[in-house]
Amino acid sequence: MKVYSFPQGGIRFDDPTVPSKNDSGSAFLPVLSVIPLVQHTGARACPTVSVGDTVKEGMLIGRGQGSGSANIHATVPGKVIRMVSWQMAEGFTNDALVIRLEGAFEKLGKREPCFPWEDLAPMELRRLISEYGIVEMDGLGNPVSELLSAPPVSEEPLTLVVRCVFDDPWLAADYALCRERPDAIAEGSAIAAKAGRFSRIVFAVSQQEKELGQRLLDIAGAWDVPASLVLTGYRYPQRNRRELELALRLYEKKEAVPLGFLLALGPATLAAVHDAVKLRKPILDRYVAVGGSAVKTPQVMKVRIGTRIAKVIDECGGFTANPERIVSGSPLRGRPIGDLNEPVMKTTYGICALVSGQVGGTKARNCIGCGECRSVCPVGLDPEALYKGVQARRKLPALRAAECHGCGCCDVVCPSRLPLSAVITDSILRGN
């Protein structure tokens, strides 16, 4: 099969401190669960329980409020013992309900009933997806019900893209999920396609994972939605929205397959859609890749939402050295974690503890004008000029700064360890 990719820039990103993607384990259940009321892009969910209340596993404890907000559920049975708050790296204050583990589980270790969905109307499917608080788990946390309602009403085709592009080794948790739950991912894609009235499903899979893609395609054949497999390159950032769409538009042109409007969802999100609609279950846990140079035994683990990051690190043997920085996600684009008492959330796919010198380092030197940053930029920008423009407090529109999507390729290759991507994207956010 032909491989489709974006035309310029990008890097082959490898990291030996990533856990094996071929194995996974289950983390211990936390005695204390910290369930954030913001695990999505919109407003804080409104608590439906109070301190002192007893809750059941899967029970609604926070109701979404308006666009971008999503319902929050208890991931363990127990008693709400307090409300806590902390400052997120993004600048906002998050609140959480702390639940002390008590009582019997409603779902864990028990045979789960399956509910038929094929005869449900798209609106009813979206209602279930909303009711169980399903968000985009490999992104910012956009509510999936809203994403499925967004496609334009027109005659052009609507294509749901199942994004199994492994251009970053820190997607090890998604890969483990694909290996262990391909049926849920494939059926979840069929459910999402019907909920959003999509006319086609495309499995976009990295070229080295052709067998996995074919397996997903074969399973999806059980449902009456045309589906196809598209092999993509695995240069980072192939998985980004822009780069993925470039590859798919090339496929559309070369193969004469009309795709029209594209919506890309990751495997964790689609497995959660399956669980919400077929099992009537909210997001209780998720696969997380835990590693980095500072972690003793990196591994992929299935972790309950609300488990404190300190406890997750402990299950991996603790730290071998004091971490210079800890990020949620990938070291390329991850969110800094300021406190190990922060919990695993719906959008936590990786926990990376970095020591000095790993991926970017901390000691910046003067730019030597080597041009490596320009050669790897997938957008064709000049990161050196943009960085120097910010430093000199110049306006950047003429340098196309707004086209930067913060992939971090320039940071990785810079021999001077300059924080190019961070400085440029921060300048964009400040409106310079």
For the stretch 294-306, pLDDT in tens is 999 999 999 999 9
What's the pLDDT at 361? 46
Angstrom CA distances, 47 to 57, 117, 357, 400, stand at 16, 30, 43, 43
- Name 346's Cβ contacts closer than 8 Å, sequence gap at least 6: 39, 40, 133, 135, 137, 141, 283, 286, 305
Angstrom CA distances, 91 to 87, 183, 325, 338, 420, stand at 6, 39, 18, 12, 21
Residues 332/312, Cβ–Cβ less than 8 Å: no
What's the pLDDT at 86? 87
What is the mean pLDDT of the segment spanning 224-234? 95
Residues 65/47, Cβ–Cβ less than 8 Å: no
pLDDT at residue 263 tops 70: yes
Residue 203 to residue 376: CA distance in whole angstroms: 27
Residue 421 to residue 381: CA distance in whole angstroms: 11
Helix (H) or strand (E) holding 162: strand 158-164
Residues 311/35, Cβ–Cβ less than 8 Å: no
pLDDT tens per residue, range 125-184 = 999 999 999 999 988 899 999 999 987 767 689 999 999 999 999 999 999 999 999 999
Peptide bond into 237 cis (omega under 30): yes
DSSP 216-266: HHHHHTTSSS-EEEEEE--SBTTTSHHHHHHHHHHHHHHHT----EEEEE-
pLDDT at residue 19 tops 60: yes
pLDDT tier at 109, thresholds 50, 70, 90: confident
pTM, to two decimals: 0.94
At what angle are helices 267-278 and 122-131 packed, to 10 degrees?
100
Beta-sheet pairing, 200-206 with 227-232: parallel
What's the pLDDT at 359? 47
Q: Which residue has the tokens 């997120």?
A: 88
Q: In which order are the strands placed within the sheet that holds 46-47?
A: 46-47, 60-63, 72-73
Q: Which DSSP letter does residue 129 get? A: H
What is the mean pLDDT of the segment spanning 236-265? 96
What's the pLDDT at 195? 97
Taking the domains of the chain in order of start, what are their residue ranges? Answer: 3-15+112-278, 372-429
What is the mean pLDDT of the segment spanning 195-207? 96
- If one compares 101 and 422, the residue with the highest pLDDT of the two is 101
Residue 284 to residue 125: CA distance in whole angstroms: 20
State which amino acid sits at residue 423: V
CB atoms within 10 A of CB 30: 23
Tallying the residues shown for the chain, one arrives at: 432
Residue 324 to residue 358: CA distance in whole angstroms: 9
> Which class is domain 3-15+112-278?
alpha beta
Residues 221/201, Cβ–Cβ less than 8 Å: no
pLDDT tier at 63, thresholds 50, 70, 90: very high
What's the pLDDT at 232? 97
Angstrom CA distances, 225 to 111, 172, 201, 220, 285, stand at 29, 29, 7, 8, 29
